[in-house]
Structures are given as C-alpha cells and as structure tokens.
Amino acid sequence: MPDTGDETVLKFPILIGDIGGTNARFAILADAYAEPKEFPIVKVAEFPNIDDAIQSAILDKTTLQPLTTVLAVAGPVDGDEIALTNCHWVVRPKVMHQRLRIPDVIVLNDFEAQALAVVALGEEHMEKIGGGVPEHNASRVVLGPGTGLGVAGLIHASGRWIPVPGEGGHMDIGPRTPRDHEIWPHIEPIEGRVSGEQILCGRGLVNLYRAVARADSRQARFSTPAEITAAALDGSDAVATEALALFVTCLGRTAGDLALVFMSRGGVYLTGGIAQKIVPALKSGNFRAAFEDKAPHSALMRGMPAYVITHPLAANAGLAAYARTPSRFGVELAGRRWIGA
C-alpha cells in the first residue's frame, strides 16, 4: 500500500512532471534553491509508457538520479495503477521504484498542480480579464481547456494553501439562449448528456464549429482547433467566429459557476495553451458578460477578478514550489505517495 511518509520532507534531486493527454513536461530540481533543469517536451504518443519516456527523454540525458518524483497527471489518482483520462499511459509507482530506481513517488492531479501554480507565479505571468482586486488568502479556482477540461479549487486554511482537485470538466453544460437551442441538438452527447469536455477543450471547439455549421446548413471548412481559432481571430470565417464566441461564452458561464461554488474572491484563473492563444477573444467581452451573469449574485461576480496564466510551464512551476516547501501547502498524500524499500 502507498505510504505517506513525512509529508514535510522530500529528498533531492526531485523529478517533477506535468503529464497531459498530449504532452509531458519534465524538469529536475537538484536542490531547494536551484532553478529547475528543464527538458524538451515529450510527446505522449511517441512512447508506449511513462517509464520508457522518463528513461529515454530524461534520465538518459542527465547525470542526476532523482530520489523523489512528483508527477501531476490528467486523471483521478486511485490505486497502484493510475490510468490517464485522455491518453494510453498508466502510471505504476511500484514499477517506477524498480525500473527507474526512484524510491519516492508522489502522484497528484494535473490541475492540482495548476492550482499550486496560482500562488507560485507572479502577476508578470498573468493577463487580467476584468474584475476587481483579489482578496488576500481568499479562495481561488483554476480551469483550463486543453485535451480535456481541467478544474481545481484552491483554499487557504490553517496557514496553508490547500488544492482541491476534481473532475469538474465533466459537469453538464446546456443551452440558455434561443441560438444555443438551435446549436445544441447538433452537439453529439455522451451517454445522453453534453458535459463541459464536449465543448470546452480542443475537440470541443471543433464540436462547436461543426454544430454551428450544421445549424445553418453551412459547410464546415476546418477540422482542427488551430484552424478554427485562426479563422475566428482574423475574421475570415463567420462559422469559426461564432463558434469561438460561443466557446468563450460557455467558458465564462462555467468559470462563473465554479467561482460561486468556491466563492473565489481570490480570483479565477484560466490556464493552458488554448486560453493563452485566445486572449483577444477572452477580452472581447463575451467571457466577462457570461461570467457575471449570475443573478442574484451579479454584483458579487463583478468584483471577482479573472486571469489568463501566461507562463508556458505553469504546472511545473506549481510542482516546483511544492517540492521546495511542502509545508506551505496542504497536499493530501494518503494513497498518493509510494515509498520503496
């Protein structure tokens, strides 16, 4: 069974890794004061398993042998075999002890790491999208459309920041306006429902684009999120423009819902590559209008700030902050830390 060990002590060198559905980003901390030694981004599809990826792309490229690894994975951490939600890798900490000779393995949720990043990064790594001044030590929410839709909360209690991971990307999301009702029947449901991940991620933007085209009996010219985003931002395709506007609106609705759940007076933070690429659309007004449209609490919502995190390696910044000073964070390790013999 996993062993929690001493939660306030992690032995260096520490391998940190943000494992998404498409890419994995690794770095090694030689000690508590060193800057992370970063490695090229690993394409998940190019390796049959995470152990081969770490050995080939990381350990074979350095003389540092990690004594601890802290991994953030896209999926719930449950048991000794941790399957990722949107890719074929399975994390097996006990196998890592043997194959990679890493005696201490900690596995967190990827958006838990994004939540840690919120307090690890400064304002120079954030683009503000409306609202007031964040309250010191107030609750916060992080969400990010990527391969899927990640969600986490962050609360402050007993002098520590406590990340609250979850699977909020799978909440139901439905139509509100007459135009929504025209488009929604063309969005393919999963087992009878449309969740956030059917709309608010890369493939979700494609789903929206195709649904808008079908609602108007128009041709869908594009097939990738990058094509749709580019055409929307330069105004060259009306269907793409409407799809991205609806994407931003739905993201604002969901962000506002989560802000109410956590009473996020410390701010709502959008993270990931998609959010970074669509900052102009997020600033156009649709996001903020949808975010604040939460009667009877619209006045409360107007005061809550929202940000796009612009740091390219935000999750690893959060993991590094935790690795250096675990006592600053209330990260629950029961069932998520494996210490070898």
Same domain, 161 and 274: yes
Q: What is the pLDDT of residues 256-315, one digit of tens each?
A: 999 999 999 999 999 988 999 999 999 999 999 999 999 999 999 999 999 999 998 999
Cβ atoms of 252 and 281 within 8 Å: the answer is: no
The counts of H helices and E strands in the chain are 12, 15
Question: Tell me, what CATH number does 294's domain have?
Answer: 3.40.367.20
- Gap between the Cα atoms of 112 and 152, Å rounded: 6
Short-list 259, 270, 249, CA closest to 298 = 259
Cβ atoms of 313 and 38 within 8 Å: the answer is: yes
For residue 326, what pLDDT is reported? 94
Same domain, 304 and 322: no
- Gap between the Cα atoms of 250 and 179, Å rounded: 13
Dihedral class, residue 306 (left if φ above 0, else alpha if ψ from -120 to 50, else beta): beta
Its pTM stands at 0.90
Strand pairing class (268-270; 160-165): unpaired
Residue 186 to residues 141, 212, 216, 218, 252: CA-CA distances in angstroms?
30, 8, 11, 13, 21
Same domain, 129 and 63: no
Cβ atoms of 21 and 86 within 8 Å: the answer is: yes
Same domain, 199 and 330: no
> Residues 6 or more apart from 91 whose CB is under 8 A from it?
19, 50, 71, 73, 81, 82, 84, 107
Burial class (CB in 10 A: 0-12, 13-18, 19+), 156: middle
For residue 153, what pLDDT is reported? 95
- Gap between the Cα atoms of 256 and 234, Å rounded: 28
Same domain, 269 and 326: no
Cβ atoms of 19 and 50 within 8 Å: the answer is: yes
Q: What is the pLDDT of residues 170-199, one digit of tens each?
A: 999 999 999 999 999 999 999 999 999 999
For residue 1, what pLDDT is reported? 42
Same domain, 101 and 129: no
Residue 3: inside a domain, yes or no? no
Residue 6: inside a domain, yes or no? no
Residue 296: inside a domain, yes or no? yes
State the 10-residue block means of pLDDT for the chain, 341 residues long. Answer: 61 95 93 93 95 97 96 87 88 96 94 93 95 96 91 94 90 96 95 94 96 96 96 96 98 97 97 94 95 97 97 94 94 93 63
- Gap between the Cα atoms of 329 and 332, Å rounded: 9
For residue 6, what pLDDT is reported? 57
Count of domains observed in the chain: 2
> Residues 6 or more apart from 238 whose CB is under 8 A from it?
none
Residue 127: inside a domain, yes or no? yes
The number of residues making up the chain comes to 341
Give the tokens for residue 328: 């600053």
Same domain, 231 and 275: yes
Residue 7: inside a domain, yes or no? no
Strand, helix or coil for residue 164: strand
Structural domain boundaries, residue 79: 14-114+314-339
Question: Tell me, what CATH number does 328's domain have?
Answer: 3.30.420.40
Angle subtended at Cα 294 by Cα 292 and Cα 300, rounded to the nearest 5 degrees:
65
For residue 7, what pLDDT is reported? 60
DSSP assignment of 245-260: HHHHHHHHHHHHHHHH
Residue 335: inside a domain, yes or no? yes
Same domain, 191 and 234: yes
Same domain, 109 and 129: no
Short-list 39, 105, 113, CA closest to 320 = 113
Same domain, 207 and 127: yes
For residue 5, what pLDDT is reported? 52
Residue 8: inside a domain, yes or no? no
Residue 5: inside a domain, yes or no? no
Same domain, 229 and 100: no
